[in-house]
Structure formats: C-alpha cells, structure tokens
Amino acid sequence: MVLVLPTKHTKMNEPLGLYVMAGIYGLAGIMHFIKPKMYMRIMPNYLPYHKTLVYLSGLAEIVLGIGLCIPVLKTSSIYGIIVMLTVFLLVHFYMLSSKKAAAGFPKWVLVLRLPLQFVLMYWAWTYLN
C-alpha cells in the first residue's frame, strides 16, 4: 500500500460525494427498467426505438455509476457522465416543447432542469484528478 500525503497542489475531494453521485446514477438507471413507460413518454419523437434507448440509457447510468467507484474507471466514467448529461439535454428541451412530454410538470420546473444539467456536469468534473 502506498500512502500519498496531500500537498498544497493536491486536489482534495470528499469521497462521500463521489459515492452519492454513483448512487444517484445507479438508482436513476434502475428506474429506467422499473418504469420504462415514464421515460418513453419524454423521448423526442425524432429519436427511433424509444424503448431500446430507454433501456440503453438506464444501463449507461448504472454502468457509469458503478464506474465512479472503481478507481481505474473513475475518469472514463466522469467523462461518460458529462457526455450522457449533454445528450440528455435533448430530452429536457423536448419536454419544454411538448405538453405531453412535459409529463404534467410546470414549465418553471422544466426550465430549472436545464441549468441543473450543467450543475451535475460540473459536479462530475470536480472529481477529475
């Protein structure tokens, strides 16, 4: 075992936050399999194979969440999460443009979700070494 002592140039992140993030993505991914119809309803019409994409995105969230907990996969998982959240912006914009896809959420909630995506991206980015 190698002990690495922090220096003034070492970025110290609270590991608990990384595990919280991993849990959030893992649970979100599992929900894609438990409630796929909820996710298919918010899929943009111009995307094909809604059910397949819902399952694939759920699987991606689970795999990336697990990857955050494995040191050798952490960096790749962080970049994957940032890319995934960027792609998910399509869904958020679609929800703003379609009453059916809005799933009953008030417009202000849907608008607030857009900057939240960038907050989540930044949160992931802060764990890059």
How many domains is the chain partitioned into structurally?
1
CB 9 within 8 A of CB 15: no
In a domain, 63, yes or no: yes
Two tokens, residue 78: 């962080």
In a domain, 2, yes or no: no
* Domain span including residue 26: 15-125
In a domain, 56, yes or no: yes
Q: What is the overall mean pLDDT for the chain? A: 88
In a domain, 10, yes or no: no
In a domain, 105, yes or no: yes
In a domain, 1, yes or no: no
Confidence of residue 14 (pLDDT cuts 50, 70, 90): low
Residue position matching structure tokens 């955050």: 68
Binning the chain into helix, strand and coil, the percentages to the nearest 5 are: 70, 0, 30
- Please give the pLDDT value at position 79: 98
The model scores a pTM over 0.85 = no
In a domain, 75, yes or no: yes
- Please give the pLDDT value at position 6: 46
In a domain, 7, yes or no: no
The pLDDT tens digits of the residues spanning 78-117 come to 999 999 999 999 999 999 888 888 888 899 999 999 999 9
